[in-house]
Amino acid sequence: MAKDKAVPTDKIAAGLTWRQLVEIEACARCGECLVWCPTYEQDPRESICSRGKLGSLKRIVKSGLGEEEQKEFLEGLYECSACGQCHIVCPVRINTHELWEQARQSLVKAGIPQPEQQIKHLAAIREFNNSFAKPQAERGLWAEKAWRAGLLKEPVRLWKEHTASVLYFAGCTASFDPAMQAVAVQSARLLQEAGIDFSILGPDEPCCASKLRRMGDPGFADEARKRADLFREQGIRTIVVSCAGCFKGLHSDYTGILPVSVEVLHLTAYLDRLIREGHLRPSRKIPMKVTYHDPCHLGRHNQIYSEPRSLLNAIPGISLVEMRRHGPFSACCGMGGGLKLAKPEIQKKMSAARIRQAEETGAEAIVTPCQTCQIGLTIGIEAISSCLKVYHMNEVLVRSICPEAGREHIEKAFAATEE
């Protein structure tokens, strides 16, 4: 089938599923994808939108692309956060974001690599077992610092010391990023407030490796299996994650790898359940008009829309006003899918656009349950010098339940321990 040996069309085709090969040819070329695509909005080229990528993929698995065309196609393939908006609006129902991730993997296997920055990042994840290129020994330090600073009700225990009923999986960002460690601290504190028996893996907590899947690293399946084995060995049955990316990883990407007996929950959904069951009572009034940003990996990819909203509505004083694009139509902030590594300036523009949408609602703040989105939206706020504030969901809940664990207290305490 392949005439040109330089572009291994058969190998690329073999790296996709047969359904995806059918999907590639089923595009009706209606262009609905580019109307909704938040990346196309900032960079309106045909090679960026789904229709363009599908057309190029069709040719690449059939007979290969010319050098220029291939370069353009690869640029478009990686200038995409795989947010899945196009999948929702496509009249043919093509599962686009899955296709892009699978295509990235297939191309890498066939010898066509990702952008340079992505390769470096993936190598760092493999080497350090986290995405911050820091020693794993530092991974659980947030918990120790928080306990010493009096921010927690009791010390957080390591799983190897105490096999709890729930594992709290903090994720690399909350564990290592100083600006985001507040998320991990507040998650732990909220679980303690609800009286949940949980532990963390601490320095044994691996990176969820979902970034490998996002950016098409062929080693994802093996890495996932290693982590699944670890969970099994440790007897872990329930995992609560605070990062939407880790949640998509452990809940969706690990389908078929993690046994169905292991339950993976996102913290927001878990906390919502705890509030309904009366274990958590947001009592202090927070008089604030907020809008909610659905993270792609939580909303569109896992259909968690109502739990975060009911959680917000359970906090007295909060008045929630929706952006025009919310729920399944939430506009991506650009942090996912490796887009920030490949095209940081596009991500900045995408998040700036999202902040402008938030400003239109008249809200004082934008709330999101994902720390990566929080970083992304912060970039947007800085880009247009907006007066809007961005809060993690934990922050709002903590202010209503245990305000002494509020973000500014954590940051002050952690800064003090640095000195």
**Distances 75 to 12, 140, 225, 307, 402 between C-alpha atoms, Å:** 17, 38, 31, 36, 47
What is the binding site for another protein (CB under 8 A)? Answer: 1, 3, 10, 13-23, 25-32, 34-36, 41, 46, 51, 61-62, 87-95, 299-300, 303, 305, 324-329
* Residue 247 near residue 297 (C-beta atoms within 8 A): yes
Cβ-based nearer residue to another protein, 250 or 331: 331
Map residue 51 onto helix, strand or coil: helix
- Are 172 and 132 spatial neighbours (Cβ–Cβ below 8 Å)? yes
* Shortest spacing between CB 57 and another protein, in angstroms: 12
Smallest distance, Å, CB 127 to another protein? 29
Counting every residue written for the chain, the total comes to: 419
Residue closer to another protein (CB basis): 325 or 348: 325
In the complex with another protein, the residue whose CB is nearer, 45 or 153, is 45
Instruction: Provide, rounded to whole angstroms, the least separation between the CB of residue 275 and another protein.
Output: 23
Between 6 and 137, whose beta carbon lies closer to another protein?
6
Task: In angstroms, give the least distance from the CB of 231 to another protein.
Answer: 25
* Two structure tokens written together for 250: 């452990």
Smallest distance, Å, CB 296 to another protein?
Answer: 12
> What pairs with residue 368 in β-bridges?
392
Rounded Cα distance, 36 and 45, in Å: 14
Burial of 345 from C-beta contacts in 10 A (0-12 / 13-18 / 19+): exposed
For residue 105, the minimal CB distance to another protein (Å) is 11
Residue 292 burial class via C-beta count within 10 angstroms: exposed 0-12, middle 13-18, buried 19 and up? buried
According to DSSP, the β-strands at 166-169 and 198-200 are parallel
Residue closer to another protein (CB basis): 98 or 177: 98
Least distance between another protein and beta carbon 2 (Å): 10
Question: For residues 51 and 343, which CB has a smaller minimum distance to another protein in the complex?
Answer: 51
Strands (E) located in 31-162: 157-158
Q: Using alpha carbons, list the distances in angstroms from residue 182 to 146, 175, 188, 304.
A: 9, 9, 10, 23
Inter-CA distances, 152 with 142, 374, 419, Å: 11, 23, 21
Q: How far is the CB of 339 from another protein (least distance, A)?
A: 19
Closer of 32 and 177 to another protein (Cβ): 32
222 vs 404 by CB, closer to another protein: 222
**Maximum Cα–Cα distance across the chain:** 69
DSSP per-residue letters across 365-401: EEEES-HHHHHHHHHHHHHTT---EEEEHHHHHHHHH
